[in-house]
Structure 1
Amino acid sequence: MMYLWSNLCVVFFLLIFTSYFDLAFLVFVYQCLQELYGLSFLCSDLVTSPRVPRFQVLDALVSLFCRSNISAETLWDGGWLLRQLLPYSEAEFNSQHLELLQVRTYEVSYKNSATALVKEVRGFWPDLLITVLCNEWKKCKRAMESSYPPKEPKCVLFPSPILSSEDDIPDSSSFTAGERLHELAKVFVVLHQLQIFTLGKPLPEKPLIYPPGDLPANSRAQTSGLDLSGPKPGTEVNLVNAVPCRIAFERGKERHFSFLAISVGTSGWLVLAEELPLKKPFGVVRVAAPLAGCNPKIDDKHSRWLHLRIRPSSLPVLDPAKFNTHGKLKSKAFVDGRWTLAFRDEESCKSALCMIVEEINFLCEEVHRRLKPLLNLETSLNLSGLADEDSSSNTTPRNSV
C-alpha cells in the first residue's frame, strides 16, 4: 500500500507542476487518491493554488528516496520531479530535507544499492555490468535534466508490465539475473546522481570509472594470441595452455577439442578449438561461449566430466526488438544452454576447472577495480570535481543562447 501511495503521489504532483496535462485527468487522479486514502483537501484548492501542498510534496519525495525496495521507475519519476520543484521551492526545501537526502538516503538506500551492485560483480553478467551502468547513466542524466517527465503521466500511474520471458524460464536463469542487474543499475544510478545534485554539483557526462588496466604478464590471453575482439570462429589460437576434451553437441556424435578459458580485461570466453596437426601447438576456434556465469561443476558420479552453464552473450532485457507488445520473448533464444566436457582423467578435469575459476576471478577483479571510484561516493565526487575543473580550464567559454 505504501509503495502504491508513493507512486500515485509522484504522479499527482507531477500533474500539478506541469502545464500540459488536462484538468479531467487531474481530477481523475485526485479521485483515486481520495478513494484510496481519504484525503480531505479540496481538488479545486489544489488546482487553483498549487503552492499549498508543495511542502508535503517535498516531504513525500524525500521519504521516497530514503526507503529501500523502491522500483527504479518510481525513483526516476521522483528524481525528475524533485529537480523540477527545487528551483521554485527553495523556501520549503529546508535543511532537514537536505540532511535526509544527503545522510539518510546515503546511509540506507544508496549503500544498500551499492552493496547489491557489488554482489553482481560475482553474478551472471559481470562482463556487461560496466556497459549497463554507462548506458543507464546517460539515460538517467538525460531524463533528469529534461523539461518533460521520463514517461507520459498515464504510464506512470499505470506502469507497463515488466518485460518477462516465457513462463517456464526459472528464477535461477541468466535471463532473470539480467533483469535484476538492469533494475539494480537503474536504482544505483539515480540515487548516485541525486546525491551529486543535492550537493549543487553538475552531473558528469559519464560515470567515474577507471580505464582498462594492462593485461598481466604471461596471461592466458597473451599466450593464446587473443585480443579484446575475442575468439571468433575460425580465429587461430595458441593451445599451449589448453586441455584436451570430448563433447557431443548431437547425440552419438562426439568430437575432440582443446579447451581454453580466457579473460581479457572485463571480457572472458570458454573456447573449444581444433588442433592444427601441421602447426602445433596452434589450433582454430570452432565454438566460443561467455566465461561469466558458466558455474563450473564436476559431476558427482563421473569425476572426469565437467558441467558448464552456457549463458547468452548479450543481455536480452536491453534489446526490446526481442520482445512482442505483451513483454514476452518472441523466441526461446535466451534459455541457458549446457556443456558437459569429458576429459581423459581426473587431473585434466580438475585442471580445466581451476583454469575457469582463475580466469573468472581475473575478470571479476578487473570489473571491481574499475568500479571502485563510482562505488565510493566521496571519492567519486572529489575526482569528478577535479575532472570538471580540468575540462573547464581547457575550454573557451560560450555565450548562452
Structure 2
Amino acid sequence: MVDAVKVFILHLQLKAFICTGKLLEKPLLHVMSSIPTASGRTHASDLSSASFGSEVSLGSGIPCRIAFSNAGTRDIYLIPVARVTYGKLLLVEKHPFRSQRGVVIAIAPLAGLSPRIDEDHPTWLHLRIREFDPSFAAKKGYKSKAANYAADGRWTIGFSNAEACEAARLVILQETTMQRSSVRSVLAPLLENNFLGNLSDGQNEGDAPTQGV
C-alpha cells in the first residue's frame, strides 16, 4: 500500500515536471478543503484522536468479546471510526471506575478489515488486520494481552447473538465506505487530464495582485 502511494505521487510529480517544468507544491490543499469531515455515524470528539491507552467514550461502542493468546477472553467494545481519509478500528476495555468511559487496548486500520461472519459460528466476526503498530507492545500493562495475538494478522470477535454480529459487520462496512468515498474524492481531481492546468490557473489567480476600486 505504501509503495503504491509512492509510485502514484512520483507519477504525478513526473507528469507535472514534464508538462510545466516544475514540481507540484502542496497540490492537495484545495482538494482537501472540499472533503466533508463527517463520518457515517456521530462519534465523540475524543475518538478521532484516540491512541493506545487513551480514555474514550463508550457511547458508540459495540459490546463484544475477544480472546488474547496470553490473557484469555476479555469483554471489550468495538468502535470503528472514519474521519475524512483516515479510518481505524478501536478495541476498548471498560474503565474500572467510570461506567461510560473506556481505555483503548488495540487499534487496527479500518481499510482492509474485510469483516466476515464465521459460517459455523454466526456470533463470530473475523477481521483481517493489515498492520499493527509495534509501539502498542511497549505500553505498560498491555504487552501480554494483545501483542502476540495480533501477530497472525487476524482478530476473531465474539458477540452475544447473530444479530449483534451482523450489526457490527454492517457498521464496519459503513465506516469503510465513508473512508473510501473520501479517498476517492481526494484522488479524483488528480486523475483528471486537465488537473495540472486547473492547478496552475488556481495558483495564478491566487498570486495575482488585487487592484483598488
Change over 3 Å in CA distance of 1:205–1:358 after alignment to 2 = same
Corresponding residue SS for 2:63: strand
Partners of 1:252 and 1:234 in 2: CA distance: 17
Contact 2:13–2:24 (CA<8 Å) still a contact in 1?
A: no
Change over 3 Å in CA distance of 1:190–1:285 after alignment to 2 = closer
The code of the aligned residue for 2:37 comes to L
Change over 3 Å in CA distance of 1:239–1:300 after alignment to 2 = same
Partners of 2:39 and 2:13 in 1: CA distance: 38
Deviation at 1:269, TM superposition (A): 1.3
Greater helix proportion: 1
Corresponding residue SS for 2:167: helix
Within a 5 Å distance, the mapping from 1:30-109 to structure 2 comes to none
TM-score between both structures, scaled by the size of structure 1: 0.43
Larger Rg: 1
Partners of 2:152 and 2:206 in 1: CA distance: 45
1:347 to 160, 163, 166: 163
Deviation at 1:218, TM superposition (A): 7.8
Specify the alignment match of 2:141 in structure 1: none
Larger RCO (CA under 8 A, 6+ residues apart): 2
**Root mean square deviation, CA, Å:** 2.8
Specify the alignment match of 2:200 in structure 1: 385
Specify the alignment match of 1:235 in structure 2: 54
Contact 1:224–1:239 (CA<8 Å) still a contact in 2?
A: no
Partners of 1:392 and 1:385 in 2: CA distance: 11
Specify the alignment match of 2:38 in structure 1: 216
Specify the alignment match of 1:337 in structure 2: 153
Corresponding residue SS for 1:241: coil
1:299 is the counterpart of 2:118: yes
Greater strand proportion: 2
1:206 to 26, 42, 63: 26
Partners of 2:101 and 2:109 in 1: CA distance: 22
Partners of 2:12 and 2:154 in 1: CA distance: 38
Within a 5 Å distance, the mapping from 1:140-289 to structure 2 comes to 178-179=2-3, 181-182=4-5, 185-186=6-7, 188-200=8-20, 202-208=22-28, 210-211=31-32, 213-216=35-38, 219-220=41-42, 222-223=43-44, 225-227=46-48, 229=49, 231-250=50-69, 253-276=72-95, 278-289=97-108
Which segments of 5 or more consecutive residues in structure 2 lack a partner in the other structure?
Answer: 134-149
- Residue by residue over 1:93-113, the C-alpha shift from the partner in whole angstroms, topping out at 9 and shown as x without a partner, is xxxxxxxxxxxxxxxxxxxxx
Change over 3 Å in CA distance of 1:279–1:309 after alignment to 2 = same
Equivalent pairs: percent with the same residue?
A: 34
Which segments of 5 or more consecutive residues in structure 1 lack a partner in the other structure?
Answer: 1-124, 126-177, 315-333, 395-401
Change over 3 Å in CA distance of 1:225–1:208 after alignment to 2 = closer
TM-score between both structures, scaled by the size of structure 2: 0.76
Contact 1:309–1:336 (CA<8 Å) still a contact in 2?
A: no
Deviation at 1:312, TM superposition (A): 1.7
Change over 3 Å in CA distance of 1:195–1:313 after alignment to 2 = same
**How many positions carry a matched residue from both structures?**
191
Change over 3 Å in CA distance of 1:342–1:390 after alignment to 2 = same
Corresponding residue SS for 2:76: strand
